[in-house]
Amino acid sequence: MTKVIPLSLQIILAVLTFVMPAAADDAKIKLLIIDGAANSPHDWAKMTAWYRSQLEKSGRFSVDVSTAPRWLAPQPQWDAWRPNFKNYQVVLSCYNGRMWPEPVWKSFLQYVQDGGGVVIVHCGNNSFPGYPEYDKMIGLGWRDDPAYGNRVTLDDGGKVTVHGPKQGPKGFVPGASHGDVHSYRVVIRDREHPITLGLPPVFMHAPDELYDGQRGPAINMHVLATAFSDRQTRGSGAHEPLLWWIPYGQGKVVTNLMGHVDLPAKGKVNAARCAAHTLLVLRACEWVATGKVTLPVPKNFPTEDKFVELPE
């Protein structure tokens, strides 16, 4: 026997069917990617495409992209570029190019001070040397001059040491650099933080640059993960911070130094595809936006001896 649904119930079901997808979209975290420039050999377009695809695939985020004009674009293009940060819960940036116009900076700083979340990935950490407020947000940046600011290293047990300008561990006083691209072990230093909760204490990261010698104010840095920069790979010989967060006003800023992606003409490195790195970026975005993390650790997560690359 065919069951007859009353007309009034049919109307209600039709309305619910129409409304529910919109409600689900409204529940997603609103995220803005800022791109448009990166120092060679970083492929900013490929980085944006990767992170956007993974953020959307997670089902947790609604993603928009704001692309800055090219460095030598006519001034009217720069005058017209005005990202509306306040419409988003988190800003993700790998941007490293021309200094933003002053109105964009003021809007961005106000956004973070008012509680907006920011996640800086890899070459985004290289940006805006000499801009004090950005240095405060990121704590440490790619700054060539050893006198630029403080340097941070950790010992085997996780104790943090802050070295002053022109100082470093065991007399080794570099400005920012990295050794050979290689696969290395990442050590979780704060296993209770929502971003790192449930991850293995040590896991292998895909072949990548391992930044060392970063400089900056290093104030209120909460180090979440490090890696040992081995002298055998032309590194610093110290445990280097790779993942940390800093409070800025009412907002939170997470910096993740991993995730190098070469331009096609330069090489074949795409460390952003590392399953561990991708999860850390997504979890950081969720945490700075909401204060909690719901994204689970996948079963195919890297182990201490084996990294995992996600498919394109």
CATH of the domain at 75: 3.40.50.880
pLDDT of res. 310: 96
Average pLDDT over residues 76-92: 98
Q: Would residue 299 count as lying in a domain?
A: no
Q: Would residue 150 count as lying in a domain?
A: yes
Q: Are 50 and 65 in contact (CB under 8 A)?
A: no
Q: Would residue 312 count as lying in a domain?
A: no
Q: Reduce the DSSP state of residue 177 to 3 states and report it.
A: strand
Q: Flag whether pLDDT at 74 surpasses 80.
A: yes
Instruction: With residue 79 as reference, give the H or E element that holds it.
Output: helix 75-80
Residue 12 CB partners (closer than 8 Å, separation 6+): none
Q: Would residue 53 count as lying in a domain?
A: yes
Q: Please write the tens of the pLDDT for every residue from 44-68.
A: 999 999 999 999 999 999 999 999 9
Q: Flag whether pLDDT at 78 surpasses 70.
A: yes
Q: Please write the tens of the pLDDT for every residue from 186-244.
A: 999 999 999 999 999 999 999 999 999 999 999 999 999 999 999 999 999 999 999 99
Domain that holds residue 237: 28-290
Beta bridge partners of 90: 31, 117
The count of structural domains within the chain is 1
From 14-23, 29-38, 45-54, 96-105, the region with the lowest mean pLDDT: 14-23
pLDDT of res. 26: 73
Confidence of residue 265 (pLDDT cuts 50, 70, 90): confident
Confidence of residue 3 (pLDDT cuts 50, 70, 90): very low
Q: How far is CA 67 from CA 100, 256, 281, 289, 308, in A?
A: 12, 21, 20, 21, 30
Measured in whole angstroms, the distance separating CA 123 from the mean position of its chain's CA atoms is: 10
Q: Would residue 90 count as lying in a domain?
A: yes
Q: Please write the tens of the pLDDT for every residue from 91-100.
A: 999 999 999 9
Residue 79 CA to residue 168 CA, distance in Å, equals 42
Torsion of CA 93, 98, 102, 103, to 10 degrees: -50
Residue 192 CA to residue 277 CA, distance in Å, equals 18
Q: Would residue 13 count as lying in a domain?
A: no
Confidence of residue 24 (pLDDT cuts 50, 70, 90): low
Q: Would residue 17 count as lying in a domain?
A: no
Average pLDDT over residues 155-169: 93
Sole residue written with tokens 């340097």: 151
Q: Would residue 144 count as lying in a domain?
A: yes
From 13-27, 176-190, 195-209, the region with the lowest mean pLDDT: 13-27
